Amino acid sequence: MLIKILGTGCAKCNRLEQLTREAVAELGIEATFEHVKEMDRIMAYPVMMTPALVIDEAVKVSGRMPSREEIVGWLKP
């Protein structure tokens, strides 16, 4: 599983990455993380605002902070 956090490195982007890492650990799944900070790469995705969470190239959320439960739901196989 490839997980991308889209954002320039703001506090919300970092918090989203932390929550997602915690959810991955909770579920005991294997995932590779990438924090995409370059605007040209972020703009390649259909997002209008950051932070955004992309799981296996599918945008799950953008522009808001999801709950831990939402993230766990998106990560479950």
Q: Which of 1, 10, 49, 65 is catalytic?
A: 10
Average pLDDT across the chain, whole number = 95
Residue 34's CATH number:
3.40.30.10
Q: Which of 3, 5, 13, 36 is catalytic?
A: 13
Residue 32 bears catalytic tag: no
User: Do the beta carbons of residue 45 and residue 57 sit within 8 Å?
Assistant: no
Q: Taking 80 as the threshold, does the pLDDT of residue 29 lie above it?
A: yes
Could you tell me the pTM of the whole model?
0.94
% of the chain at pLDDT higher than 70: 100
Instruction: For residue 31, give its domain range.
Output: 2-75
User: Do the beta carbons of residue 53 and residue 59 sit within 8 Å?
Assistant: yes
Structural domains in the chain (count): 1
CA 76 to chain centre: 14
Residue 10 bears catalytic tag: yes
Q: Taking 90 as the threshold, does the pLDDT of residue 9 lie above it?
A: no
